[in-house]
Amino acid sequence: MSKVTRLKPLEGGKGRALSLPRPLERVRDRITERAGGLLADMLDGADDTLFDLAEKETDSERDRYFDAMRELRLQRGALETGFRQALGNLFQDSARTPDDRERATGKVAVEDLALVKHEELETTVALDNLARRARKGHDEALRAFQHRLEYLFESKVDVTERNNPLEPRNLAACFSACLERLSLDIRARLIVLKLFERVVMDEAGAMVDEANRVLADAGVLPDMKTVPVPRGRPAGEGGAGAGTSGSGASAAPEQSRTAGGSPSAGDAPAAAPPADNAMFGLLQELLTTLRGLGPAGGAPASGASAPVAGGGAAPTSGMAIMHNGVAHLNGAPLTADAPVQAVSSQDLFGLLTRLQRLEHALEGGADAQDRSVKDELSDLLESENSEAIHALDQADDDVINLVAMLFDFILDDEGLPSEIKALIGRLQIPLLKVAIADKTFFSNEEHDARLLLNTLARAGCQWDPQQGYDDETYQRIDRAVHAIIDDYDEDAALFSELLAEFESFFSDQRARAERVAERVREAEEGKARAEQAADAVRRYIDARLAGRQVPDVAVRLLRQGWQQVLYLTWLRQGEDSDTWRRYAKVVDALVWSVMPHRAPADLEKLRDLSPKVVRALEHGLESIQYDAGETRALLDDLLAVHDSLIKGLETERVAVPKAPEPEPPAPSALPDDHELVARARRLRAGQWLEIGDGDDAQRAKLAANIRDGAKLVFINRRGIKVREYDAAGLAQALHDGEVKLIEDGALFDRALEAVISDLRRMQSA
């Protein structure tokens, strides 16, 4: 009997329930009914969707989909009830003051955030992206709803994206929290979240519009045409409460002196809404271990020397960090009278633009490769003002650290040739500028700069150094990199333009490569099928003739003519066809007809069978257009044998030796159930690998996987066959390091996942 998990309604916080204004109660009831109905529709179709997905998977993978289907069916009632309850709690929480919310929910432990599990992180990223897509085009309606709520609460409650009950991120989080109570693995959970997005979240904007209509009809700001802009916020900057999330993310002081000719305040990048900054905030929490900052506010008294790690006085130059309004150097707070010059995000952006254009930052050398962006920034600032200690905003320092870690992973990636790494490595400063200007760079999987980096890397994985620098793919990557270095300042539209241009080129290349690979695949599959047919026919005839003594004409008929009839029949119609079975019986009849017979019944049977066998042989040989003269001669000889046997005469015979046993394949050091053997069998066409290493390394793509790893054919980018393995041979080569599989998936996403894993290990250590 399967285990049944009882779901309890989700609680939206502890403490006494707050009464809602009557208009808001009507909104709550309307939205709960509508969203609950949409969820029911989604669950109605979930079985069919999961079943369709299961059909495309292997047996081992298929079970997880069936388990998910069973779990959703068993827990459907509790899932719907929990979701409706959670929606009600969202509205209840929107009426709480900040103090009420803090008492109700308690303080969140930083350890809980820092030690987030990989599956939780995947869910967080999925929810952020889901919410961003659902929010698109509905910002104005959401701000109008927030403003009406504040009006209802008489401005006693500040309604932001965090406590807006109709904020898409909050709606999605309600359903995700319900899913956590089910026994679903992460892949199945993400699939169910995708279904939720398509059915329920697609209506999120319509639900906000309906809520605004209900409130307006109830007399809550019915004549509001435009939404007032919150104080201190320029128009068009997202919802209330926007700003950089995460610790230490406050803006630099307005009075700080501009360093390095940075852009003016009017050109500074706008902060992204906190809903899109969830990933960056999480990354900041994970970076806590690396900071090693002293207690906030614990700066030494004025006039004292600023302590540094290892004792002594603080240097008069170097990069400090602004943390909770206090400058820290080497982890220790500086004195109040230390000569600190804050470097705002605007200042930093301008400094990076200057570094981007410096030849040594672009080309580098042995020394430059060992220097970090911070080293370059520190040198540049010191050259302009060596008396001050320059302090970066905490959020900007975190961005610099994160981008540096991402590029460390990228430059260590074995899937990229070193020449391509050298090109992509030169994008560190431009992408650092992108991340400083737009923190959603870390969470938005559709960000143009991320997509361009992934596309360049994917193309670079397929470039072989043996093709040389004049190869068009290398030239295109080189031009894209230099266009960013030369032209990117503040206009991120450059990435979109380059992405469109490169994707057009890459898709043409990919289409041509696919056509070539398809021809190779068809040829190899045809060749393999021909070999399989020839082997099947040879084994069938050998089984009938081997070890017997038969007239030579029978051997020639079967080995020369009839073997071709069977071969073509196997290829055209298969060994399960009626034609194959009929022609195979001819073999048995022919062999029996030429054996010595003495019994009168057998001789009578031979007399009746002889013309039938001859007609069948004649018809079959004609069907393949076998030489007519040869056919007539063979059949005349066969009739002569039959005539001699019927008269009781001896016929001349030849001994047909048994076919030699095929040599067994060389034993592999790896067993058939080894993980690498199984992986080799599952490889799909399009997988790239690198054969050899050093200057002789060669990159090749899998063009055909025939009969689950019986033959794996690899070609180069020009479509020329370069290597052939079976699953065991490829697994052994992988095991011995002679071959490496190339991961050509999204490079940025893999780098981000690796960075998060490293940070989590540091936290747990």
> What DSSP assignment string belongs to 466-529?
GG-TTSHHHHHHHHHHHHHHHH-SS-THHHHHHHHHHHHHHHHHHHHHHHHHHHHHHHHHHHHH
466: CB partners within 8 A, 6+ apart: 698
Specify the length of the chain in residues: 765
User: Which pLDDT score, from 0 to 100, does residue 4 have?
Assistant: 41
Q: Give the pLDDT of residue 60.
A: 58
Half-sphere exposure of 386 (CA within 13 A, CB side): 2
- Rg of the chain (C-alpha set): 37
Cα 142-146-147 angle, rounded to 5 deg: 115
Residues 6+ positions from 348 with CB-CB distance below 8 Å: 262, 377, 392, 393, 396, 436
Distance, in Å, from the CA atom of 2 to the CA atom of 73, rounded to the nearest integer, reads 13
Question: In angstroms, rounded to a whole number, what is the distance separating the alpha carbons of residues 601 and 593?
Answer: 13
CA 54 to chain centre: 19
Q: How many CB atoms lie within 10 A of CB 465?
A: 18
pLDDT along the chain (765 residues), means of 10: 42 55 92 93 84 69 76 89 92 75 42 46 77 85 91 85 91 91 82 87 92 92 74 37 34 34 37 54 76 45 34 48 82 83 88 76 46 81 82 89 90 84 90 90 88 88 81 89 87 88 81 77 80 88 88 91 91 88 92 90 91 92 90 92 90 82 68 86 84 78 83 81 87 87 78 83 73
The amino acid that residue 509 corresponds to is Q
Specify the pLDDT at position 744: 66
The interaxial angle of helices 600-623 and 563-573, nearest 10 deg, is: 60
Between CA 744 and CA 750 the distance in angstroms is: 10
Contact between 175 and 10 (Cβ < 8 Å): no
Tokens of residue 487, six digits: 């032209």
Question: If phi over 0 gives left and psi between -120 and 50 gives alpha, with beta otherwise, what is residue 726?
Answer: beta
**Of residues 481, 498, 377, the one with CA closest to residue 422:** 481
Cβ atoms 702, 712 nearer than 8 A: yes
Task: Tell how strand 332-333 and strand 340-343 pair up.
Answer: unpaired
Are the C-beta atoms of 86 and 10 separated by less than 8 Å? yes
CA–CA dist 269, 233 (Å, integer): 13
SS3 content of the chain, % helix, strand, coil (to 5): 60, 5, 35
φ and ψ of 92, to 5 deg: -60, -45
pLDDT at position 705, please?
85
Those residues with Cβ within 8 angstroms of residue 212's Cβ, 6 or more apart along the chain or in another chain: 141, 144, 145, 148
Helices (H), 413-443: 418-425, 428-437
Distance separating alpha carbons of residues 398 and 286, to the nearest angstrom: 10
- CB–CB of 101/13 below 8 Å? yes
**8 Å CB contact between 248 and 320:** no
Residue 52 contacts by C-beta under 8 Å, 6 or more apart in sequence?
A: none
Decide: 65 and 50 in contact? Cβ < 8 Å: yes
Tokens for 253, please give them: 């002081």
- Terminal-to-terminal C-alpha distance of the chain: 42
CA-closest candidate to residue 100, choices 14, 195, 35, 179? 14
Q: Render 116-132 in DSSP notation, one character per residue.
A: --HHHHHHHHHHHHHHH
Say what the pLDDT of residue 285 is: 78
Q: pLDDT at position 211, please? A: 94
pLDDT score of 360: 41
Name residue, tokens 């350890």. 111
Q: In the structure encoding, which two tokens stand for residue 373, read together? A: 């962006």
Amino acid at site 339: P
* Residue 38 to residue 42: CA distance in whole angstroms: 6
The pLDDT of residue 605 = 92
Q: Please calculate the CA angle 257-290-750 and round it to the nearest 5 degrees.
A: 100
Look-up of token digits 């206090």: 326
CA 86 centroid distance within chain: 31
Residues ≥6 apart with Cβ < 8 Å to 298 = 326, 333
